[in-house]
Amino acid sequence: MSRLVPEGADDPRFSGLLREVDGTAVVLRLERGVRDEERKFRSAHDLLAKQLELASEGRSTRVSAQISGDRVVAEEIGEHLLPGLSDVALESFTLSSYMDSPAALTGYDIIGLQAVDATLRVKDCTLRNLLFGSLTLHAQGTVRLEDCRVGRLVLSGNGEPDIVLSGGRVLVIEVQDEPNLRSLNLSGVQISRQPVKVSQIPKDLPAWLRLDAVSFRRLHKWAQDKEDVKLAHQMRGHQLSVDYYLSDRTERPFMYLWRLFGNYGLSLWRPMAWLLASNLLFGTLLYCTGTVATDAVLPVANAVAPGTDAANAATLAADGIAAAEASLGWRSVLIGDGQGAQLSRAIVGATEAIFSPVNVFSIRKLVLPTEPWVAVVQFLYSYLCLGLIFLFGFSIRRRFKI
């Protein structure tokens, strides 16, 4: 495939939005002080009325509103335009300010807007339940996006804003080369990091909707510059997940194993979960196939002096074995043929490979499998444990920047 389309692009909730903008759409504008009834409007109320009229005729519209620096236009937009456009699908929605003015829409809850393409310039606002194909966000102050679904989210800032993404889903997230953000907090939002299947890619998806490692790499670099260890850790893992689909055949098996057992370092507990599961599985195998305790557990009884009669030899041997068993401590549970001893040997045999994986051939091992092929499995299992412990330590180091 020529490009990687992010997973979720085929979501039916994006249908009708993730497509090229219709060039025949009607352009509406709101610029205070300018009067042109066909294209520009003096008030948000008049603009909304015209847009609803066009929508009733089945005509798509592009809405553009500019804030001139005073509060009048901003209040009209917040009072009339934003509530009126809630849950109305638009081809384009632009909310900006004049180039020489820092004005932005301030302190409003923007709810339910839907547009193929959107550009918002807001300050101290909360955006809820938005559905955008592409959203370019110029933020000031603290801006929250709650339960929004965005195809491509481009973040920028003015005055080092705090941006919080909570819930919802973003297919692609980007920051500009110099975003001038103070912080970026991702809480419960799904970010696509793998492509959809080739057979499922809709043909009318826009060309800009692509999944690449560059966007995650920029976020990773920005988070490192801000010393945001958690975000840098997440974005590095997302970057590697995209690199997996771009890797060649020689690299892909190793990256697949890394993803399977460690989630590219994103999951602290996945290696430990695999370690516990493999321990239980191998312990069950030892219990079912049988084990024996080694000489390290029960040494051979002291040799009997030559010439000793059979009765005395048996007595001396029994006394030696009893003394040896008494000196074993907890290891005495490994001796015998009962179910308890077999279970104890299975647990110890599976566990000692975790703590001493390089001693798989050592004569000091406590438990040995009776079947040769199980010994081969034990060898592989021992080094699997070593690798999982390494992945856990690597995840800890990356997450906490040790």
386-395 tens-digit pLDDT: 888 888 887 7
Give residue 322's pLDDT: 54
Are residues 291 and 201 located together in one domain of the fold?
Answer: no
- How far is Cα 103 from Cα 98, in angstroms, rounded to an integer? 8
Residue 259 lies in a domain: no
pLDDT of residue 144: 94
| Count of domains forming the chain | 2
Within a domain: 235 = no
Residue 232, in any domain of the structure? no
CA distances from 20 to 92, 133, 164, 209, 341 (A): 11, 10, 28, 11, 70
Q: What tokens appear for 150 in the block?
A: 């965005």
Residue 63 domain flag: yes
Instruction: Decide if 313 is inside a domain.
Output: yes
Residue 102 sits in which domain range?
12-211
For residues 198 and 275, state if they share a domain. Answer: no
pLDDT value for 136: 92
| Structural domain ending residue among the three candidates 170, 192, 211 | 211
Same domain for 285 and 204, yes or no, is no
Q: How many CA atoms lie within 13 A of 158 on its CB side?
A: 16
Write the Ramachandran bin of 168: left for phi over 0, alpha for psi from -120 to 50, otherwise beta.
left
pLDDT band, residue 358 (cuts 50/70/90)? low
- The answer on pLDDT for 328 being more than 70 is no
Q: Among residues 184, 211, 238, which one ends one of the domains?
A: 211
Interior/surface letters 150-183, b for 16+ CB within 10 angstroms, e for the rest: bbbbbbbbbeebbbbbbebbbbbbbbeeebebee
320 confidence band (pLDDT: 50, 70, 90):
low
pLDDT of residue 20: 63
* In a domain? residue 258: no
On whether the CB atoms of residues 243 and 237 are closer than 8 A, the answer is no
Mean pLDDT of 159-168: 88
SS3 state of residue 288 = helix
Q: Which of 11-15, 195-199, 288-292, 333-337 has the highest mean pLDDT?
A: 288-292
Are both 54 and 176 inside the same structural domain? Answer: yes
Confidence check: pLDDT of 68 > 60:
yes
- Asked whether residue 189 falls in the same domain as residue 103, the answer is yes
pLDDT digits (tens, 9 = 90+) for 180-235: 788 889 888 988 888 887 666 667 778 788 888 888 888 888 888 888 878 888 88
Domain identity same for 287 and 197? no
Q: Within a domain: residue 379?
A: yes
User: Are residues 193 and 295 both part of a single domain?
Assistant: no
Let me know whether 98 and 197 are in one domain: yes
Domain limit, last residue, from 196, 211, 226? 211
DSSP 8-state symbol, 36: B
Same domain for 206 and 127, yes or no, is: yes
Please tell me whether residues 156 and 285 are part of one structural domain. Answer: no
The confidence score (pLDDT) of residue 132 equals: 92
- Closest among 286, 266, 309, 250 to 375, alpha carbons compared: 286
Residues 160 and 282 in one domain: no
Please say if the pLDDT value at position 301 is more than 60. no
pLDDT value for 102: 64
- Among 52, 51, 54, which Cα is nearest to 65's? 51
Q: How confident is the model at residue 350 (pLDDT cuts 50, 70, 90)?
A: confident
Residue 2 lies in a domain: no
The one-letter code for the residue type at 101 is: S
Q: Note whether 185 and 113 are same-domain residues.
A: yes
